[in-house]
């Protein structure tokens, strides 16, 4: 059971090697000013004026993203985008065989001082917490070729939200192990002087070679800032942020534990704890649900076994003092569950 996260290392290595080899071939073409069509394989000239937009192959009319080079990184495939920036899979001229994730600012806001400051702060946080196996490792950050950028390792794996959608719900053992890894990430970030503040399934990667990895530190704050932060704006994803953010009363470790509890409820049950009929855009409705204080035993029955439901139920209590008060306390609860529900069922071999 405990080898769950180790069983696919060889598969991961092969996948990374194959992907990197394919990209290396493409980068040779990029240096020659040619773009290999993803459809027919034929090459056609790169129009740099169309960087990061779709150009159509003159031979088969297939769509192709025009790559862009920033600080030696070739950005060639989109990974995700939001109001604060866009992330691309990338390859570096001097680091063959490696893939990276490069975040740049939105095209329409690349010179916006507010967005530049946000990316700079995110780079500072990433640098401070880099080096732990449960967080994404910083590779490079700065300003070059007219672009502010932040580069981290590219993690081969499956996002937790996609995994939930594919499987319907996550098996208990995996939920426990993911929970322990995310608590380790949260503890490390906290010990580095920051509160993460953006826990959601979409920010959790399940790699093929190591546990669960927490990434995207764009709204992390220093501990004292988070504790006394007052704002009329709701940072983060409403389905998972804590009641304290709605009230503007400041956040601490118990706030992160609340958000993690909602993520693990989603993983274990297959659906969000918040009313699924309420869209993420209806912030006020979701906020009222966070503040209602209702933690229905009927809803928690969707999580099995009952002792896992009890632990998650304690994590998502309305009042901070009713939750686990530290990451260590929550971790101990998970370890006890792992011992009683998984390890305790493994019989010792006969002598």
- Beta carbons of 245 and 278 less than 8 angstroms apart: no
Rg value, the chain, Cα: 22
Cα separation of 245 and 253, whole Å? 13
Q: Which pLDDT value is given to residue 246?
A: 83
Task: Please name which of 348, 189, 318 lies closest in space to residue 255, comparing C-alpha atoms.
Answer: 318
User: For the segment 139-156, what is each residue's pLDDT rounded down to a tens digit?
Assistant: 999 999 999 999 999 999
| Mean residue pLDDT across the chain | 87
Cα separation of 147 and 105, whole Å? 8
- 121 pLDDT band, cuts 50/70/90, is very high
User: For the segment 276-297, what is each residue's pLDDT rounded down to a tens digit?
Assistant: 555 555 666 676 676 775 555 5
For the chain, strand residue ranges (E) read 34-36, 43-45, 54-56, 63-65, 68-70, 73-82, 85-92, 100-104, 138-144, 147-153, 157-159, 194-195, 204-207, 213-214, 221-222
Burial per residue of 171-189, b for 16 or more beta-carbon CB atoms within 10 angstroms, e otherwise: ebebbbbbbbbbbbbbbbb
Q: Is the pLDDT of residue 11 over 70?
A: no
Domains of the chain in start order, with CATH, are: 13-153 (3.30.200.20), 157-345 (1.10.510.10)
Cα separation of 3 and 9, whole Å? 11
């Amino acid at each position: 059971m405990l080898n769950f996260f180790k069983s696919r290392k060889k598969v991961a290595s092969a996948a990374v090697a194959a992907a990197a080899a394919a990209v290396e071939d493409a980068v040779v073409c990029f240096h020659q000013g040619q773009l290999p069509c993803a459809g027919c394989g034929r090459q056609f000239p790169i129009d740099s004026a169309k960087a990061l937009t779709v150009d159509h192959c003159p031979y088969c009319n297939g769509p192709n993203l025009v790559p862009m080079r920033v600080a030696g990184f070739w950005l060639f495939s989109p990974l995700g985008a939001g109001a604060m920036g866009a992330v691309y899979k990338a390859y570096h001229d001097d680091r063959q065989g490696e893939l990276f994730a490069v975040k740049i600012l939105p095209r329409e806001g690349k010179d916006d001082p507010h967005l530049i400051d946000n990316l700079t702060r995110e780079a500072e946080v990433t640098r401070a917490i880099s080096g732990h196996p449960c967080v994404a490792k910083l590779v490079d950050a700065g300003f070059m070729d007219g672009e502010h950028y932040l580069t981290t390792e590219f993690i081969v794996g499956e996002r937790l939200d996609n995994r939930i959608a594919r499987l319907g719900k996550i098996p208990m053992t995996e939920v426990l192990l993911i929970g322990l890894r995310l608590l380790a990430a949260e503890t490390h970030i906290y010990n580095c002087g920051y509160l993460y503040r953006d826990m959601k399934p979409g920010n959790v990667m399940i790699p093929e070679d190591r546990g669960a990895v927490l990434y995207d530190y764009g709204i992390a704050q220093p501990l004292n800032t988070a504790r006394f932060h007052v704002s009329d704006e709701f940072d983060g994803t409403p389905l998972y942020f804590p009641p304290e953010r709605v009230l503007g009363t400041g956040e601490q470790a118990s706030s992160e534990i609340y958000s993690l509890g909602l993520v693990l409820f989603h993983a274990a049950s297959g659906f969000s704890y918040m009313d699924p009929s309420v869209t993420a855009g209806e912030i006020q409705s979701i906020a009222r649900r966070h503040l209602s204080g209702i933690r229905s035993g009927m809803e928690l029955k969707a999580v099995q076994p009952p002792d896992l439901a009890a632990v998650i139920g304690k994590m998502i209590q309305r009042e901070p003092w009713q939750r686990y008060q530290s990451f260590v306390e929550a971790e101990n609860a998970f370890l006890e569950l792992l011992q009683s529900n998984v390890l305790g069922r493994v019989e010792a071999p006969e002598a």
